[in-house]
Amino acid sequence: MNKLTLIKIGGNVIDNPDALSRFLTAFASVPGSKLLVHGGGKIATQVAEKLGIETTMIDGRRITDQPMLDVVTMVYGGLVNKQLVARLQALDINAIGMTGADAGTVLAHKRPVNEIDYGLVGDIDEVDSGQIQFFLRQGLTPVFAPITYGKAGELFNTNADTMASAIAVDMVRHNEVTLVYCFEKRGVLADPADDDSVIATLTPDRYAEHKAAGTINKGMIPKLDNAFNAIRNGVMRVIICHADDVAAAVLHGAGTTLTL
């Protein structure tokens, strides 16, 4: 079976020009078929402010009304996505920029309102992995912005970690998939204040222990929930590592590897 490496890069790296350059060089050196899912960083907030559109965040998640959806679609699906594609072309990676709406690849519905109304935020229903595999067979490297679409033709802002996990799970139909979450830390840390306290292997039981102790908290929890969901649903390997170490993580092991 073919091997595919699916890599998700976070907004903090996108916001740092030097870190982003190092990541893209490392990404380009990952052998074989690969796919990139990216977050948006702070650029959408900055553009919204210039347009007089208020940004509301709850627990690190953006409330997305129609004006904000317009902004994130322009910024994530346009500016950020195409900048990444152009820079990968300069590194001899034949990238194709996409959202979930392109070629009908990631279908979603509006998140139901419970305690919080997140607005036009999408929860994923279906991934068309066959269509994505078609692009890979043409020698293309898909670069996905975290925008999905609904059956009525609407667009949704969608969590990039969730999008990476959902695509990875469906791509298992065609490939042995390695999913890598890259960000500004060297992995999952046993002590958030100590960058050297990387947990080399993380199991569900140990994850629960760290959550109970509060050493794994905030934005790392949904990231790890998505990562464990992927490995429970057939993804061969899930790694969380520093953006600079992505090639080393895939080839030799670095950061934190999840196991069941």
Q: Which residues are annotated as a binding site for substrate?
A: 40-41, 62, 157
How far is it, in rounded angstroms, from Cα 81 to Cα 9?
12
* Residue 243 to residue 15: CA distance in whole angstroms: 13
Amino acid at position 43, single letter: I
Write out the binding residues.
40-41, 62, 157
Residue 252's CB is within 10 A of a number of other CB atoms, namely 8
In contact, 241 and 256? CB cutoff 8 Å: yes
Nearest to 103 by CA among 38, 149, 158: 149
Coil, strand or helix: which one is 231? helix
Yes or no: say if 38 and 7 are a contact pair by the CB < 8 Å rule: no
Question: How far apart (Å, rounded) are the C-alpha atoms in residues 60 and 219?
Answer: 7
On whether the CB atoms of residues 124 and 162 are closer than 8 A, the answer is: yes
**Per-residue tokens: 58:** 């709850």
Please name every residue paired with 127 in a beta bridge, in sequence order, or none if there are none.
Answer: 106
